[in-house]
Amino acid sequence: MSDHRYPHEPTGIETRKLGMWIFLSTEILFFGTLITTYLIFKGRTFDGIKLKEVYDIPFTSVSSFVLLMSSLTMVLAHNAIEKSDQERANIWLLATASLGTVFLAGQIYEFTEFYHKGFTLTVNIYGSTFYVLTGFHGAHVFIGVILLVILWGVGRRQEGLSLDGGMNLEFIALYWHFVDIVWVVLFTVVYLI
Amino acid sequence: MSETIQEKKLLTVFKRPSSSEGIWSWITTVDHKRIGIMYGYAAFFFFLIGGLEALLLRIQLARPENNFLSAAEYSAMFTMHGTTMVFLAIMPISAAFFNYLLPLQIGARDVAFPRLNALSYWIWIFGGLFLYSTFIFGTAGAPEGGYLAEEIGWLGNAPSGGWFGYQPNASIKYSPGTAMDYWAVGLQILGISSLISAFNFITTILNMRAKGMRLMRMPVFTWMIFATAFLLAFSVPIIAIALFFVTFDRQFGTTFFLVEGGGDPVLWQHLFWLFGHPEVYILILPAFGIVSEVLPTFSRKPLFGYAAIVFAGFGIAFIGFGVWAHHMFASSISPVAQAGFGISTMIIAVPTGVKIFNWLGTIWGGKLNLKTPMLFALGFIAMFVIGGLSGVTHSVVPADTQQTDTYYIVAHLHYVLFGGAMFGIFAGLYYWFPKVWGKMYNEKLGQLHFWLMIIGFNLTFGPMHWLGLKGQIRRTWVYAEETNLGFWNMISTIGSFIIALSIIVFMANWAYSRRKGPVAPMDPWDARTIEWTVPSPTPVWNFSTPPEVENLDDFWHKKYGEDSEGRAVRKDTADQLLVDLEEDGLNPKEHIKLPNPSYFPFILALGLPLLGYAVIYKSVALAGVGLVLFLIGGFGWALEPIEEETIENSSTASESVGHE
């Protein structure tokens, strides 16, 4: 690693990983604010169509399952690098990105369906919070997919991936798992409760 | 064999910039010192603009029934004044100190993520320019029953909903035109910059400390950076989401904050102040840190109660999240909430008071050296105490509902943010001037600056206390002749011009001393912390050998010992130590690898204002260009080769540190 980091990481955590942890702690505030707003408005009375009248729980469950599986493939990629099996790591990495893309496609399909059924962004305050909340999460998945593709590119160009140093798999995996966990919370709060 | 060839090809595709002089060296720099300097200059520029806006406001208020500004222009000016001073002046000047000093104070070569640091700077500057482009591209629009279009004028084409952007006043119905969108999107961009620097600084403090630099040996200023960074990390996301909602309300027809659509304007106030009150501490804690460095040095005593100051700082940061609704006593919150927030507002005065007593304990019995930084630090304590005490009066809810939206509040907030934060910042600017430029400022001009400023400041804001108690309403562009408020308003306006004069003195001193001032020694103040163990001006590599720390105030302990009665005595070796340190600092014995410059922070940041314009004008083309820049920046960033810049010849290197 470059020498400008000579002060040997007193916390014992790799610096990029530590930075990601702190970034994720701010992300909790982002989603926390959105979920709070959602819950505040959910309890109020409003006119117009509601999410319950349009959603399709089995469909969303499947796409949630896809996203959760992407966490599994992420772990498998991590595992492969630990065993320095670069080829397998690349496969699992692309699998993760693909599963993320499938989830995104599902969300786009879902949004379009809702929209055609009259549950639009401006139909009522509930619609607004729903789209901003789940859309914000979707944007995170999108950024995650881009990060995975960049990571894959880095691996191609730099004789393989590593778990520390440079653009490494470890801290991107952290981000990816976080986004998945947030979805578990959102799915529960928005669809199931 | 083929692998090495491929690697070489890569380097030519993504070559890292190498110039060390000229404009490109500044655009591509990732050196925390250069970034700090750029922050400082740009923020001071915005500080001047914010000051000019304030002068316009004061001219308008100098006489009753004045017609220097129209109502629309006045609203635009106070909105831009507040927004500028908070987001484009005080926060980034603090960031300038953070950038320059943090690695030096903890003994590191740079921050944890040098490129992210550059990114944060460029996003900030583009965010600021984006916000100010409202004067060129923005329109205020004339709402029904509001201003007349002809009253708006050139100055009026700026956001006019206040720096707090209360809803529904800032909604599309009452603030038509695009100006308020510039505000919402501009703050969003500035927030991204703050977040990036926040987690960069937290990581730096946790992971980049030199050997022996335990947490409880860190300088207080570093501790306050730490607290400020946490405040930023946990409060900016809240305002970011709230601004999302505003942008959706204004651009896409949602009704998050509009009653007619089932939304809730008070929710905006909660979200805004849940950010806004920690923000107050984001503005003041860096000044606390600076003053905690200046006072011991110029009192020739250790800081009284180091641990108490550190924990009080975190106490303030923590309780700071629990007092936000005292900004909202006049809104529809319940009596129970009012009582609760009144009590928490009283409680937060306790750690603040602890700090005040620690500072007084520090100067108590010290040999005071009344140089300009010390004068500003003492002025800081006095002014901040006044502002703090008037602040505690706001915790009394019935009194506060009388004071709300009067000039009493304006007086209070300027005593803490100008008398507090800005005085602290000026103390720091003079204190570290020799370290940054290698020159000494002019002491006489510095003292003139201080006396003009403290007189002008008290003339400007002191009378506002009684103007407010007599009932002058803030954010109103005229007052009637019969109110008899004219005299003190005139005094206040005169005071504001004295402040302006003092700033001119400051600028003259700065410009002259930076070039022609006497050469500064390495340790002009006989200081205590390790940033003074490097030569002045700081070499690009900071420390030629990684420092090792054994004590709190390590540098001081290297220079001083104790006699049999426990008094500090300068060691015989101290003078030789300084000579050796300077010699070593200028001539590193080994290769020093520094983080490489990079184009991509600039490119990545450039995408953001374009995305901002795309949102306001709903332009797919602009969004496309912005996104492309963003992606080029992102991919380029990740795929950049890690190519180390080595410095072997110290003479060429020290030229490039001249910052000219």
Q: What is the pLDDT of residue B129?
A: 96
* Selected catalytic residue, list B33, B58, B277, B558: B277
Q: What is the number of CB-based contacts under 8 A between chain A and chain B?
A: 142
Q: What is the pLDDT of residue A166?
A: 65
Task: Decide which of 2.130.10.10, 1.10.10.350, 3.40.50.300, 1.20.120.80 is the CATH code for A12-192.
Answer: 1.20.120.80
Backbone angles phi, psi at B522, to 5 degrees: -65, -35
| SS3 assignment, position B23 | helix
- Clarify whether B81 is annotated catalytic: yes
Task: Tell me which amino acid residue B615 is.
Answer: V
Signed CA dihedral, B470, B473, B476, B480: sign only = negative
- Clarify whether B181 is annotated catalytic: no
Neighbours of B365 (CB within 10 A): 10
Give the helix ranges, DSSP H, for chain A.
Answer: 15-42, 51-54, 57-82, 86-116, 125-157, 169-186
B619: left (phi over 0), alpha (psi -120 to 50) or beta: beta
Residue B147 scores a pLDDT above 80: no
Question: Within chain A, which residues score under 50 in pLDDT?
Answer: 1-5
Chain B residue whose CA is closest to A22: B199
Q: Residues B486-543: pLDDT tens digits? A: 999 999 999 999 999 999 999 999 999 999 999 999 999 999 999 999 998 999 989 9
In sequence order, the 6+-apart residues with CB closer than 8 A to the CB of A29 are B233, B234, B235, B237, B238
- The distance of A25 to chain B (nearest Cα, Å) reads 8
Q: What is the pLDDT of residue B562?
A: 85
Is A34–B241 a contact, with Cβ atoms under 8 angstroms apart?
A: yes
Test mutation, A1, A33, A38, chain B, max B CBs within 10 A: A33
Neighbours of B47 (CB within 10 A): 20
Q: What is the pLDDT of residue A155?
A: 82
Lowest-pLDDT choice from A160-169, B83-92, B263-272, B401-410: A160-169
Instruction: Please return the burial class of B638, using the count of CB atoms within 10 Å of its CB with bins 0-12, 13-18 and 19+.
Output: middle
- Clarify whether B193 is annotated catalytic: yes
B405: left (phi over 0), alpha (psi -120 to 50) or beta: left
Lowest-pLDDT choice from B154-168, B193-207, B449-463: B154-168
Q: Average pLDDT, whole number, for chain B?
A: 90
Q: Contacts of residue B238 in chain A, CB cutoff 8 Å?
A: 29, 33
Query: How confident is the model over B216-232, as a mean pLDDT?
Result: 96
Q: What is the pLDDT of residue B8?
A: 39
Chain A residue whose CA is closest to B200: A19
Q: Which of B249, B317, B257, B266 is nearest to B288 (CA)?
A: B317
- Clarify whether B617 is annotated catalytic: no
Chain B residue whose CA is closest to A11: B207
B545 close contact with A: CB closer than 8 A? no
Q: CA angle at residue B252 from B605 to B124, to 5 degrees? A: 20
Residue A99 tokens read as 């599963």
- Clarify whether B279 is annotated catalytic: yes
Signed CA dihedral, B12, B13, B17, B22: sign only = positive
Q: What is the pLDDT of residue B649?
A: 40
Q: What is the pLDDT of residue A165?
A: 64
Q: What is the pLDDT of residue B15?
A: 60
In sequence order, the 6+-apart residues with CB closer than 8 A to the CB of B330 are B400, B401, B404, B405
Q: Contacts of residue A111 in chain B, CB cutoff 8 Å?
A: none
Q: Using CA atoms, how far apart are residues B33 and A82, in angstroms rounded to an integer?
A: 38
Q: What is the pLDDT of residue A8?
A: 67
Select from B207, B267, B644 the Cβ nearest to the Cβ of A2. Answer: B644
* Selected catalytic residue, list B58, B109, B301, B355: B355
Percent of chain B with pLDDT strictly greater than 70: 93
**Half-sphere exposure for B102 (CA within 13 Å, toward CB):** 35
- Clarify whether B270 is annotated catalytic: no
Asked whether B383 and B420 are in contact (CB, 8 A), the reply is: yes
Give the helix ranges, DSSP H, for B133-260.
Answer: 134-137, 149-152, 179-207, 220-252
Q: Contacts of residue A40 in chain B, CB cutoff 8 Å?
A: 264, 267
Domain ranges of chain A: 12-192
Q: Contacts of residue B623 in chain A, CB cutoff 8 Å?
A: none
Q: ipTM of this complex > 0.85?
A: yes
Q: What is the pLDDT of residue B177?
A: 87
- Clarify whether B110 is annotated catalytic: yes
* Selected catalytic residue, list B235, B292, B297, B345: B292
Asked whether B388 and B414 are in contact (CB, 8 A), the reply is: no
In sequence order, the 6+-apart residues with CB closer than 8 A to the CB of A161 are A81, A86, A89, A90, A93, A151, A154, A155, A168, A169
Q: What is the pLDDT of residue B642?
A: 65
Residues 29-88 of A with CB under 8 A from B: 29-30, 32-34, 37, 40-41, 44-46
Chain B residue whose CA is closest to A43: B262
Q: Residues B88-119: pLDDT tens digits? A: 999 999 999 999 999 999 999 899 999 999 99
* Selected catalytic residue, list B249, B279, B531, B553: B279
Q: What is the pLDDT of residue A16?
A: 87
Query: How confident is the model over B436-445, as a mean pLDDT?
Result: 96
Q: What is the pLDDT of residue B12?
A: 38
Parallel, antiparallel or unpaired: strands B568-570 and B592-594:
unpaired
Select from B10, B244, B594 the Cβ nearest to the Cβ of A132. Answer: B244
Verdict on whether the full-model pTM lies above 0.80? yes
Is A41–B262 a contact, with Cβ atoms under 8 angstroms apart?
A: yes
Query: How confident is the model over B624-642, as a mean pLDDT?
Result: 86
- Clarify whether B194 is annotated catalytic: yes
Residues 626-655 of B with CB under 8 A from A: 631, 634-635, 638-639, 642, 644
Asked whether B420 and B377 are in contact (CB, 8 A), the reply is: no
Query: How confident is the model over B333-358, as a mean pLDDT?
Result: 94
Q: Using CA atoms, how far apart are residues B555 and B563, in angstroms rounded to an integer?
A: 18
B106 close contact with A: CB closer than 8 A? yes
Q: What is the pLDDT of residue B603?
A: 93
Residue B128 scores a pLDDT above 60: yes
Query: How confident is the model over B560-574, as a mean pLDDT?
Result: 86
Q: Residues B579-600: pLDDT tens digits? A: 999 988 988 887 787 888 898 9
Q: What is the pLDDT of residue A188?
A: 94
Signed CA dihedral, B407, B410, B416, B419: sign only = negative
Select from B238, B245, B253 the Cβ nearest to the Cβ of A122. Answer: B253
